[in-house]
Amino acid sequence: MKIVSTNIGERTTVIWRKKEVQTGIFKKPINQPIFLGKTDVKSDNVIDRKHHGGVYKACYLFSAHHYPYWKEKYPNLDWDYGMFGENLTVASFDETQLYIGNIYKVGSALVQISEPRQPCFKLGIRFNNAAVIKEFLEYPSPGTYIKVLQEGTVKVGDEFVLQQEHPAKFTVQEYYELATNQTTEPSVIKKALVCDAVKPEKQEKYSQLLN
What pLDDT does 53 receive?
Answer: 80
Model-level pTM greater than 0.85? yes
Element (H, E) at 177: helix 172-179
How far apart, in Å, are the Cα atoms of 133 and each of 87, 114, 137, 173? 19, 22, 6, 17
What tens-digit pLDDT sequence spans the chain (211 residues)?
999 999 998 888 887 777 888 888 889 999 899 999 999 999 887 766 776 788 999 999 999 999 999 999 999 999 999 999 999 999 989 999 999 999 999 999 999 999 999 888 889 889 989 899 999 998 889 999 999 999 999 999 999 999 999 999 999 999 999 999 999 999 999 999 999 999 999 999 999 988 7
Q: What pLDDT digit, counting tens, does each position of 175-206 carry?
A: 999 999 999 999 999 999 999 999 999 999 99
